[in-house]
Amino acid sequence: MKRKILIVFTFLLCFMFFGFLGNERYVEGATDMKLINTTPGEDASSSVNVVWHSKTISSYLELANATDTSFSNPVYKTPLKTEQRSFYDDRSKITYTFYKNDLTIYDLNPSTSYIYRIKENNLYSPVKSFKTAPREGSNILKTEGFNFVFLSDYHTWTNGPTRLQTAVDVYNKAKEKVNGNLNLTIHGGDMLAYGSSYDCWENISQSAFGMETMMAMTPGNHDFYDSSASTKGQQYFNTFLYNPQNGADGVKNLNYYFKYGNVLFISIDNESTSSSTGNLVSKEVALANQQAWFREVVENNPSQYIIVYNHRPFYTGGTSNSGHATKNRNNWLALYDEYGVDLSLSGHDHAYARTVKAKNSVATGTNEGTVYITGLQYGDRYKTVEGNPQFDIVTKVIDGNVSAMMLFNVNEERINLRYVDKSGNIIDEADILAQRDPIDYNVLDKDAIFDNIEYVYDNETKTITIKPNALDFQYLEKISLVASRPPYLVYNGIFDTINKTLTIPDIEQDKIYMPNVTLHFNDGSAVTKRVTINTSLPYGEISFNSVDNFSISYDCNLINNQITKYELYVNGELKEERDATQGEKLEKFFLSLNYGENQIELKAFDANGNERFTDLITHDMTLDISAIEIKAEVIEGQKTVTILNMTEADLKSLSVYYDNQLVVTGSKLTLVIPDSSIEQPNAIKYEIEFPNGKKKIQVVFIDYGSDYGIFYVFPTANRISAEYNLASDNEYTIIHYIDGELIKEEKLSGKGSYEFNNLPETYQYKIEVYENGYLIDTLEFDGGNFASIKTKEDQNIPQTIKILEGHNRKLALKLFYKDNLISHLYPYHKFRASVLDATIATVNVAINISSDGSMIFLFEPLRTGTTKLVVEYYGEVIEVDLRVDSYTLEYKDKVKVGEEAEVKTSIQDAVLKVDDSDVYEANGLKYKGIAKGETSLKVYSAEYGATIELDVEFTAKGCNSGTIVLPMIVLALGVGFIRGNNHLREDLEEEDKKKK
């Protein structure tokens, strides 16, 4: 009995042990290497990707030229990444454990055939082969071009082996059509019936196209399935393939691009945008990321053709899968149209449909637009087209009971399609003409491309980066640098889509390399020149700031004590030498220029006398004659002409003519005109001559003799009241105009007054004063309820007030009536002024006008709307409307996030501007700070373009009556609107809820 129990127990142990071994396997292979797949590198002319599964961590790849069939001179490549993985095949119930090895091989030669094999534990895998792509611009693309095939929906399955075999058979027929010159296969998804079938992936890897071509695959819905046809996500596809890792976030390896000849190929992942199950991001994010990525890729990788492949169709031959097609068109059609996609390839529908060139589902009838093609299935998944095409642009339809493969040939003129079936028959054919011209290397400015290359030395890494300008890399094949004299330099590098810039290692500091540089272009041509590369420490920055007729200035920030001396040259002549000092300040250089064009050049040198910086500008020393102002006046009885806004150094001569006869000439800015030469005081012409031109202006002299007197005019709304005090021994003719219309002519002398009534609300009032028939003065007034106020800088700011900066909220003004300073005309009178508003108590702010004409106004807080400034004199009230459009709060110091601050002023409808650079983050939200301490409150009037500026004070937390609490506000555009104390907290709470 015991013996029977022991036998049973031993049997159970063996069953459990060997059963366990039967359900978890290391990859066996050839025995240890499986799933070896070749995919294109980002630039297929110079790189390729290889992925394989191995039993150990120590496998590697041997690469050789295709002619070296014995691998007598191989190049050894170790994986870029080796990661232990396990994979559960839910059909066979086997768990595979292995190391996944990813490798990108760089620096390959274009249009070159290679072979490779994997070695592990002294065993070799079967030999695989591939051929790199031609470079864009190469002669082969002008003639025979290159070939590729597109296939999809062959649904590899252990129980249906004829499907993969059928695809291979059709591939071989297509290959015969091009005499074996077929090196790229594009797979449009559903390569497997169930993505979880490990052995089916291996079958594809060992197929004819898996052994001898670069395979570029995009996922289909079946590739995401387990054996029950349930979607499990990206894991299966990513276990067996290593595509260019340049795709959008969340869909890398499924979404990617690569450059092959003159074509930019793009894989769009439809499946991650159809379901979120098992994926890194949601389907909505996957779509948005790919759309943004698509724009960036096309804009930064110019190519003659753009071919996009994905699984689900855009157009079908009938009514099936119309939902998928509609979704694809909604998501991608506008982008394809915008960026000029030439060809779109897809599958999924199992029936063939091809469109003409179209945009927005409408035929273009030109070379522009996209051709959309949906491919057939392979094997036993037959389908008959149901209904008619839903779009007129579908020009060819074939039922899915045929197995055929799209064979494309691409050259610079067109993309040719031949649809080859299993018997080798061509069942459809079309030419897709190029919508972009190829690069014409005969007219390309190769010297400019050479000269625009930058050589940037990095002191930390001791490297030189070779940087072509912008997108110039697309024209370049390689570059070589050879310096045969110390310091020596030898370097060769290849440009491509991956290597848009190149890096030279092991460069010595503080050397001047002078290599011969040869730049090779894709068409086989080359440009050679000597280049100087200085590897001294960076000296900082020097840049031109400004120049005028007298001086030139530069901005600088010198570091590392590299620059020791400046030299300034004017028209090739050294004018000044100056020692350099570290820091940001460089004093102005004062100039002595010639009239006309001047060349001004600044040079900077290091301690060794090497020129490190030069800047050459051209300055035209001319005078803007149209801006010259002339003043004609009588000084102590003598008529004079004076030039106001130039120096004598700029003046060549000043001449005065009367009746075209020269009266007087000179080279001074002020010229006295002899009285005997002028009969009529208002008939003088003068001419100013400069080295670069002349200008003639009519001058009218106002010969006052003795002062004729003065008018006191108050032109208010609807009424003018005026007083005059004229010389009593003369009689003057006075002509009055309202809005240009003569209303009265009279003769006046001595003292008196007059008035005009029933005038408009606003008007122009003009007085002309004549003596002995000659016009001697013109006075003009703006009639209405306004006055003219000027700042201390005498800038005209009609109908508004500008407050100068200050810490006590003070406004210094000079009060003018027209162009006359009231305090100078009436120095013994006092004025009262106040700020009035219906909602604010009147505040009297008047003081005596000082001797310089300034008044001090102490403002109380204002509201937006209209406020009146009232100026009273002799019972006449002049009201100035001040319309306040907004308050702007500008702050200085930052406060912490969450800290509140308050403004001690009762403002309403304020605009709060926050500095964009003052950004904080807390709890995932961005906050911007409010100032604490003194700051400025500005009141802006858009109607008159002027500003009132008040100092306000911020304090810490707390809210007193009549204040506004300003917490840390989250502002999308840096601007928020504060509507008052009662609504502020409600607004902020609501805004915070939205952002969370």
Q: What is the pLDDT of residues 928-949, one digit of tens each?
A: 344 344 444 454 444 334 454 4
> What is the β-pairing status of strands 404-410 and 414-421?
antiparallel
The closest of 312, 307, 395, 399 to 351, measured between CA atoms, is 399
Q: How many CB atoms lie within 10 A of CB 969?
A: 20
pLDDT value at position 716?
A: 73
Pure H helices in 432-495? 446-451
Instruction: Extract the tokens encoding 697.
Output: 């202006």
Residue range 167-223, pLDDT digits in tens: 999 999 999 999 999 999 999 999 999 999 999 999 999 999 999 999 999 999 999
- Comparison of pLDDT for 227 and 642, the residue scoring more: 227
Residue range 27-84, pLDDT digits in tens: 443 347 899 999 999 999 999 999 999 999 999 999 999 999 999 999 999 999 999 9
pLDDT value at position 765?
A: 87
pLDDT band at 895 (very low <50, low <70, confident <90, very high): very low
Three-class SS state of 397: strand
Task: Provide the strand spans (E) within 106-177.
Answer: 113-120, 123-124, 128-131, 146-151
| Rounded CA separation 992/88 (Å) | 47
94-108, 706-720, 835-849: segment of lowest average pLDDT: 835-849
What is the dihedral sign for C-alpha 880, 886, 887, 892?
negative
pLDDT value at position 625?
A: 59
Q: Answer whether residue 729 shows pLDDT above 80.
A: no
Contacts for 223 with CB less than 8 Å, ≥ 6 apart: 189, 190, 191, 192, 195, 236, 237, 271
Contact yes or no for 155/381 (Cβ under 8 A): yes
pLDDT value at position 978?
A: 26
| Rounded CA separation 311/772 (Å) | 99
Question: CA angle 555-557-559, nearest 5°?
Answer: 155
pLDDT value at position 637?
A: 57
Q: Answer whether residue 917 shows pLDDT above 50.
A: no
pLDDT value at position 670?
A: 82
pLDDT value at position 955?
A: 41
Q: List Cα–Cα distances, 187 to 172, 267, 306, 308, in angstroms.
A: 16, 10, 17, 12
Residue range 645-664, pLDDT digits in tens: 666 666 666 777 666 677 77
Q: Answer whether residue 842 shows pLDDT above 60.
A: no
| Rounded CA separation 529/523 (Å) | 19
Instruction: Extract the tokens encoding 873.
Output: 């004199």
**Maximum distance among all Cα pairs of the chain, rounded to whole angstroms:** 159
Contact yes or no for 405/151 (Cβ under 8 A): yes
Contact yes or no for 341/147 (Cβ under 8 A): no
Contact yes or no for 899/931 (Cβ under 8 A): no
Mean pLDDT, to the nearest integer, of 404-415? 97
pLDDT band at 322 (very low <50, low <70, confident <90, very high): confident
Q: List Cα–Cα distances, 186 to 38, 234, 263, 353, 827, in angstroms.
A: 12, 19, 13, 18, 94
The closest of 286, 288, 277, 208 to 253, measured between CA atoms, is 286
Contact yes or no for 338/344 (Cβ under 8 A): no
Exposure of 958 by Cβ count < 10 A (0-12 exposed, 13-18 middle, 19+ buried)?
exposed
pLDDT band at 5 (very low <50, low <70, confident <90, very high): very low
Q: Answer whether residue 704 shows pLDDT above 50.
A: no
pLDDT value at position 633?
A: 66
Residue range 430-449, pLDDT digits in tens: 999 999 999 999 999 999 99
Instruction: Enter the DSSP assignment of 339.
Output: H
> What is the β-pairing status of strands 48-54 and 94-105?
antiparallel
Instruction: Extract the tokens encoding 930.
Output: 């409010």
Q: Answer whether residue 690 shows pLDDT above 90.
A: no
Instruction: Extract the tokens encoding 457.
Output: 């030395």
Q: Answer whether residue 680 shows pLDDT above 60.
A: no
Three-class SS state of 13: helix
Which amino acid is present at 461? T
- Tokens 């050259």 belong to 411
Which amino acid is present at 200? C
Contact yes or no for 784/763 (Cβ under 8 A): yes
163-177, 213-227, 626-640, 900-914: segment of lowest average pLDDT: 900-914
> What is the β-pairing status of strands 693-699 and 684-690?
antiparallel
Which amino acid is present at 382? Y
| Rounded CA separation 559/542 (Å) | 11
Three-class SS state of 786: coil
pLDDT value at position 382?
A: 80
- Tokens 């055939």 belong to 113
Q: 259 φ, ψ to 5°?
A: -100, 125
Three-class SS state of 983: helix
- Tokens 């296939």 belong to 151
- Comparison of pLDDT for 863 and 174, the residue scoring more: 174
Q: What is the 3-state secondary structure (H, E, C) of 711-778?
A: EEEEEECCEEEEEEEECCCCCEEEEEEECCEEEEEEEECCEEEEEECCCCCCEEEEEEEEECCEEEEE
Q: Answer whether residue 695 shows pLDDT above 70.
A: no
Contact yes or no for 589/553 (Cβ under 8 A): yes
Mean pLDDT, to the nearest integer, of 785-793? 36
| Rounded CA separation 156/494 (Å) | 39
- Comparison of pLDDT for 817 and 475, the residue scoring more: 475
Domains and CATH numbers, the chain: 1-133 (2.60.40.380), 146-413 (3.60.21.10), 446-534 (2.60.40.10), 540-621 (2.60.40.10), 625-699 (2.60.40.10), 709-783 (2.60.40.10), 788-884 (2.60.40), 886-995 (no CATH)
Instruction: Tell me the pLDDT of the chain averaged across its residues.
Output: 76
pLDDT value at position 410?
A: 98
- Tokens 């301690």 belong to 607
348-357, 399-408, 549-558: segment of lowest average pLDDT: 549-558
Instruction: Extract the tokens encoding 613.
Output: 């910086």
Residue range 252-311, pLDDT digits in tens: 999 999 999 999 999 999 999 998 898 899 999 999 999 999 999 999 999 999 999 999
Q: 742 φ, ψ to 5°?
A: -65, 125
Residue range 468-502, pLDDT digits in tens: 998 899 999 999 999 999 999 999 999 988 889 99
